[in-house]
A and B are shown apart, each in its own frame.
Chain A
Amino acid sequence: MKNTARLILRELAILASALLALGTVVPSAAQAQEKLKVGIVHIGSIHDAGYNQAHAEGVQIMKKNLPNVEVIQVENVPEGADAERVMENMIKQGAKLIIPASFGFMDPALRVAKKYPEVKFVHPGGYKLAPNMGTYWASTPEAFYLMGIAAGKTTKTNKAGYVVALPISFFLANVNAFQLGARSVNPRFETRVVFMGTFLDAPKEAIAANAILDMGADVLGVIVDSPIAVVQAAEKRGAYSIGYHYLGVQKFAPKGWISGIAFTWGELYTRFAKQVMDGTWKSEALFGNLSSDYLTISPFGPAVSADAVRMVNDTKREFIAARKHVFAGPLKDNKGAERVKAGEVFPLQGIGKMDWLVEGVIGQPK
């Protein structure tokens, strides 16, 4: 008798738990049709006012645009096996779209992508694709050319400086484009470039910035992960500054701000998420330009004249209409050798091979 009672009780308990489980499973299964989990892996801090914050802000805008999207965000992930572990963890939590937001996450992401063919990956700035991994970035030399125009029209000493992480081809091309843009409006303009050997050493960047300013420069640009140290050093000494990566750098230099090149990933990330949700996502290599909504010229500072702004906007239209090219010959490097013949154009797709600095840039490309 006792046994039967126990048996019934057990059956009841099983039934109850099954019902409970059903109750929780059924609605969530319905939700899962619309809900999408997006995982984003950052190499550094999302408050760096630079590369990482630009990605993080993009994800926030995506979340605002698509209330059904949930975001898993991990900061300060080292490149290599750790990144793979973080991505797999996100997939186990249900992520169906992964953004490994650093160039160095390319190979780790590719390995994880192979293991999980049902999960989509979008990787910024890389060159390797997989059926479920696409890549996206924007070509920046045209934007740097525009910054050069603004700087060339604003400078009083005709001298600028760039604090750059490493002498790699993409950065050399950006500095070259900046110098060419400035020369187009100011024939006496010169740009000094100082390489840091690292993406993050703020005290060293500040000392380099001061060394450039001591040489008489009054415009400072920066290509490292976080522009804060350099932009603040310029502001402190009354020089002008040009930002990179993140839209909100201006607050560190309200007086000397010229403008900046910013990545505004929000709408692109929204498109990615939508495509993954409705099943139209395709693996592709997106390479945007000034006409894309994810490469933005930051608002101009008070020091920039209306004339300069008009020139920048005119040239921007020329670039978008492909009536103008950044690296149009004849171009000499800063050692006097001819690099692009008259009438020829160094294509923007080929800047990965650029290993020289253009005439008027003071610095060593290797």
Chain B
Amino acid sequence: MNEMLFISMLSGAILSGTPLLYATLSELIGERAGIINLGLEGVMLIGAVVGFVTTVQFGNPVPGLIAAALAGALFNMIFAFIVISRRANQLASGLALMFCGVGLSALIGAPFIGRRIEGLSQVRIPLASDLPFWGRAFFQYDILVLLAIPTAVAVWWLLFKTRWGLSVRAVGENPTAAYAAGRNPHLVQYQALLISGFLGGVAGAHLSLALAHTWAEWMTAGRGFFSVALVIFAKWHPLRAIAGALLFGGAISLQLQMQARGVPVSSFLLDMLPYGLSLAVLILWSRARRSAVPGSLGRVFQGTE
């Protein structure tokens, strides 16, 4: 029974943490390039709905997943154009993008509500999935769960081990200096937001294709905003984002687990758990934050004519 409890808690944390991890990585890449995107919620919704609709049309979740990622990237390019080329305020544009995503996804999804899909199924890994205890705890998930941590490692490698990553971080710290060093800050930011939108779309697709197997309006229910906070928790580092997503995914699923177990605490109080946790983390982190935040986050690079 205790084993069962452990597995149940862990799989709950992993399942609710996976969309958070993809979303956090999405936001993180953008912020490393100096752009804060409050529209992530909208990007995720576009990914969720396009993924679902495409899956309905093809009867197969693989084209759905690809379409979700591409749609997320495309939608994020609208934001990129506004804040990079048109030099608009990032916070206001992000919120506008979010509401645009809410409305557009509702419009696209309306005729498809209530349709049945197969969704992403569990991937069987030979040997590993059949292990008596660890198999159930770690290896009986859909493909997006299994790829989540490798994706975080890939983002870390991109940002910290490649020349391109160096220019992203340089642009995020000081675009003028990066420009002087021969980089094109606008181009780098466009590239970062393209990858960011790609991951945001995948995050949304995990919600509709793997978790819920259905589309419902505003089904992200604030997970995009949550991920913006998680970037701060992760101190803008992709590997720390893994821990953050697991911890907060755990907090979301823990309160459901506690209710299912009949723990005598009010469900209203339990519902606050993840948000209380994020407030606590922000307070604790507030001191050390300065060293981690990209120097030019949220600023508009006006060019250097």
Contact = CB atoms under 8 A, between A and B. Distances in A.
B106 A226 contact: no
Q: Top 5 nearest A-B pairs by Cβ distance? A: A202-B212, A362-B262, A214-B8, A47-B113, A47-B114
A211 interface: yes
The listed residue with most A CB atoms (<10 A of its CB), out of B15, B253, B259, B266, is B259
Given A228-B213, A364-B266, 7 more contacts: A75-B110, A194-B259, A203-B221, A207-B16, A208-B259, A229-B214, A363-B259
Nearest to B11: A210
Contacts of B178: none
A167 B267 contact: yes
Interface in A319-341: none
A201 B219 contact: yes
A205 interface: yes
Nearest to A233: B213
B113 A45 contact: yes
B220 to A, nearest CB: 8
B217 interface: yes
B216 interface: yes
A194 B221 contact: no
B125 interface: no
B173 interface: no
Given A204-B252, A207-B253, A48 B216 contact: yes
A219 interface: no
Chain A interface size, as a band, is 35 or more
A44 B215 CA distance: 13
Nearest to A335: B264
Contact of B211 (A167, A206, A226): A206
7 contacts: A75-B110, A192-B260, A204-B16, A208-B260, A210-B11, A211-B8, A228-B216
Nearest to A211: B260
A364 B15 CA distance: 25
A64 interface: no
B8 A197 contact: no
Nearest to B268: A197
A192 B262 CA distance: 7
A92 interface: no
Interface in B173-207: 207
Contact of A212 (B7, B216, B260, B265): B260
Contact of A364 (B116, B253, B264): B264
The listed residue with most B CB atoms (<10 A of its CB), out of A161, A200, A214, A236, is A214
Nearest to B257: A211
A45 B110 contact: yes
Contacts of B207: 202-203
Interface string A170-200: 0000000000000000000000111101101
A206 to B, nearest CB: 5
Interface of A: 44-45, 47-49, 53, 75-76, 161, 167, 192-195, 197-198, 200-208, 210-212, 214-215, 226, 228-229, 232-233, 236, 251-252, 362-364, 366
B123 interface: no
B19 interface: yes
Interface residues of B, number: 39
A155 B289 CA distance: 53
A229 B264 contact: no
A93 B212 CA distance: 39
B42 interface: no
A45 B16 CA distance: 25
Interface in B261-300: 261-262, 264-268, 271
Interface in B87-136: 106, 110-114, 116
A210 B213 contact: no
B153 interface: no
The listed residue with most A CB atoms (<10 A of its CB), out of B15, B112, B213, is B213
Contacts of B4: 214
Contacts of A252: 116
Contacts of A48: 113-114, 216
A181 B107 CA distance: 42
Nearest to A44: B217
Nearest to B207: A203
A133 B112 CA distance: 34
Contact of B212 (A45, A53, A203): A203
B214 A226 contact: yes
Contacts of B264: 364
Nearest to A212: B260
B12 interface: yes
B212 A205 contact: yes
Nearest to A366: B266
Contact of A53 (B114, B253, B259): B114
B256 interface: yes
Contacts of A211: 8, 12, 253, 256-257, 259-260
